[in-house]
Structure 1
Amino acid sequence: MQITKIKLVNSMGKTKGCELAPDLVIDELRRIGHNEKGTRIDFDQLNIREIGFDMNNLEEALFNIQRDSRTSFEKHFKNLFIGGDHNISYSVCKSFLKTEKNPLILIFDAHADCMQAGKEPTHEEWLRKLLEEEHLGSSNIVMISTRNIWKEEVEFIRRNKITIISMDVLQEDLHGVCDMLMERARSSSGFYVSIDIDCLDPAFAPGTGYIEPGGLSSRELIYMLKRLVMLDNFRGADIVEINPKKDINNMTVRLGAKLLSEMV
């Protein structure tokens, strides 16, 4: 298992502080002896590394992340990435898509991230840019816990027939939704999970830039992740948008480490 730290932010200062999360999350991971499955967190067996880049040259940074993560997916079947803000997922997912014939990306996020994309993606439009460039459709993307969507994004999502699982649906039948996600994942050649920490209710994850009330509990997210990672074709995940500068009592950083521990 390889864990890669990506300390990139690109949103005109709105997510400033997320670049501090990777080191702090790994520090907290070292304080976890075993995960809930009873698996020992053995740092001798974990390859923890960092992608280097020039923060002042976004185009080059995204290229380096894509090139490096492509090598990671080719060398290691399972990869975990810690951001940084959500625009790191643009480059990482591009690399993942090139390694699978029938890929699936599951995105846990309070926001759709489908605003009109510019030349270089930010955390607000990375998914739209990825969908448009890679010609992805309803069979390749599922969005979960999304609960604040702008009109422009609604129209784009409808045109592309992207599946969104709202909090209303999750509240009614969490186990049934997880069964459906498992079935979708099984039918893919390989699947990847992108976790924006704001998918959680701010009561559980206050340390992020764009909190949205009414989200998942930490227990609900852990339940779904624990089931998903049991599948043989789980290829990896990222955890993004943890902002230690906005955290309370290190709650969100520790939760990020907890999520990592359940996926190793």
Structure 2
Amino acid sequence: MSLASSELLGLDEALARIAASSARVLLIALPTSRNASHLRAEPGAPQRIAQALLREEGNPYAENGADLSDRRNIEYIGALALECEDEFERIKQVAEAVVRAGRMPLFLGGDHSVTYPIMAGIHAARGSLPLVHFDAHPDLYDELLGNRLSHASPFARILENGLASELWQYGIRTLNPHQREQVRRFGVRCHEMRDPAHWSLPAQPGPCYVSIDLDALDPAFAPGVAHHEPGGLSVRQLLDLLNRLPGTVVGADVVEYLPQRDVGEITAVVAAKLARELAGAMLEPAR
């Protein structure tokens, strides 16, 4: 499967492409780092992940056998034009349109703030879902540097607005007192890297949404991120946790790729691997 044109899509064009597609999983790039607190990604960061995922010389099969070269399984819709005042509304409308069309969204970001409008759109179309989150950081700040829409705050916004039925976090290794209080306030199942022996999985089978910040991984596996935090997950550990989820993945995002900090495009390839396995999980029969 080859990439579509590299132009940025206006909202109307993105919605038209969603309506015209018959693929089960729709891949959409969200090129924005407007709410990043430290480093902003170079333009076209998520499109680079899409390129690595969909390159013709690559293996199109997920580990469970799902064939990503089959246009009936997955289609790249394109990159949504963002970095504007109404970018959250655009993301929300696109996420809602995918779900209302009976498809499953796979988003490539973009800073982690995009997960908030994604979940708002999914909630508008089908109600609250459990949310499984892989990250070095819990991203539960009430605000950071005066920004309540910061990439450090999406899960606070999601939970206080009832957009997820529960939140399970894995790979966390940066909790401070404020974020620990937020974990208690919202009843988050927060699993820290320092205590993997006591990690549990969501108990109830059923559909869920998965959000992966690439800095959940140890920087040895993913150097192309803004915040290097040693002691993280390996790629295999993350995939094993994903494979053990009791429910069906019905939507996902992979976010926070910074090409300017990458080494030999290793992070882009890792991000593409994660996206491939997320797509494979979405294409599996219900468990």
**Does the pair score TM above 0.5?**
yes
Indicate if the aligned counterparts of 2:109 and 2:255 stay in contact, CA closer than 8 A. Answer: yes
Structure 1 match to 2:29? 5
User: SS of the residue aligned with 1:195?
Assistant: strand
2: distance between equivalents of 1:152 and 1:91?
A: 24
Which of 205, 211, 219 is the matching residue for 1:194?
A: 211
Structure 2 match to 1:217? 234
1:208 matched to 2:234? The reply is no
Report the residue type matching 2:188 in the other structure. Answer: I
Which of 142, 166, 179 is the matching residue for 1:153?
A: 179
2: distance between equivalents of 1:20 and 1:191?
A: 28
Please give the root-mean-square deviation of Cα atoms over the aligned residues, in Å: 2.2
Report the residue type matching 2:66 in the other structure. Answer: T
2: distance between equivalents of 1:224 and 1:191?
A: 14
- In the TM superposition, residue 130 of structure 1 has moved relative to its aligned partner by 2.0
Any gaps of 5 or more consecutive residues in structure 1? none
Distance 1:19 1:13, change over 3 A: farther
Distance 1:13 1:122, change over 3 A: closer
- In the TM superposition, residue 141 of structure 1 has moved relative to its aligned partner by 1.0
Indicate if the aligned counterparts of 1:85 and 1:240 stay in contact, CA closer than 8 A. Answer: yes
User: SS of the residue aligned with 2:240?
Assistant: helix
Distance 1:110 1:122, change over 3 A: same
- In the TM superposition, residue 167 of structure 1 has moved relative to its aligned partner by 1.3
Indicate if the aligned counterparts of 2:28 and 2:80 stay in contact, CA closer than 8 A. Answer: no
Indicate if the aligned counterparts of 2:37 and 2:151 stay in contact, CA closer than 8 A. Answer: no
Distance 1:9 1:220, change over 3 A: same
Indicate if the aligned counterparts of 1:114 and 1:125 stay in contact, CA closer than 8 A. Answer: yes
Report the residue type matching 2:65 in the other structure. Answer: G
Which of 66, 79, 104 is the matching residue for 1:78?
A: 104
Indicate if the aligned counterparts of 2:138 and 2:172 stay in contact, CA closer than 8 A. Answer: yes
2: distance between equivalents of 1:86 and 1:14?
A: 13
1: distance between equivalents of 2:112 and 2:42?
A: 10
Higher mean alpha-carbon deviation, 145-154 vs 80-89, is at 145-154
1:52 matched to 2:76? The reply is no
1:106 matched to 2:132? The reply is yes
Query: Deviation per CA, 1:166-218, whole angstroms, max 9, x where unpaired?
Result: 11332x266xx3xx23x34x1x4x21000001111111111100111111101
2: distance between equivalents of 1:39 and 1:134?
A: 33
Distance 1:64 1:28, change over 3 A: same
1:33 matched to 2:57? The reply is no
Indicate if the aligned counterparts of 1:20 and 1:243 stay in contact, CA closer than 8 A. Answer: no
Report the residue type matching 1:70 in the other structure. Answer: E
Structure 1 match to 2:282? none
Indicate if the aligned counterparts of 2:129 and 2:163 stay in contact, CA closer than 8 A. Answer: no
TM-score (norm 1): 0.85
Structure 1 match to 2:40? 16
Aligned residues: 249
Structure 1 match to 2:12? none
1: distance between equivalents of 2:43 and 2:131?
A: 24
